[in-house]
Amino acid sequence: MTPTSSQQSYTDLLIKYQPKPIKTLEEYNVALTIVEGMMSGELTEAETKLFDLLVLLIETYEAQHYPIGEPTIGATLESLMHEFDVNSSTLAEVLGSVEQVREVINGQREVSKSQAESLAKFFNDLSYELSLTYKDFSNK
pLDDT in the model for residue 40:
85
Inter-residue contact 35 to 51 (CB < 8 Å): yes
pLDDT in the model for residue 4:
45
Inter-residue contact 16 to 56 (CB < 8 Å): no
pLDDT in the model for residue 140:
57
The CA-atom distances, in angstroms, between 2 and each of 12, 34, 36 are 15, 11, 11
pLDDT tens, per residue, the chain with 140 residues: 444 445 789 999 999 999 999 999 999 999 999 999 999 889 999 999 999 999 999 999 999 999 888 888 999 999 999 999 999 999 999 999 999 999 999 999 999 999 999 999 999 999 989 999 999 888 75
Q: What is the DSSP string of the chain?
A: ----TT---HHHHHHHH------SHHHHHHHHHHHHHHTTS---HHHHHHHHHHHHHHHHHHHHHS--PPPPHHHHHHHHHHHTT--HHHHHHHHS-HHHHHHHHTTS----HHHHHHHHHHHHHH-TT----GGGG---
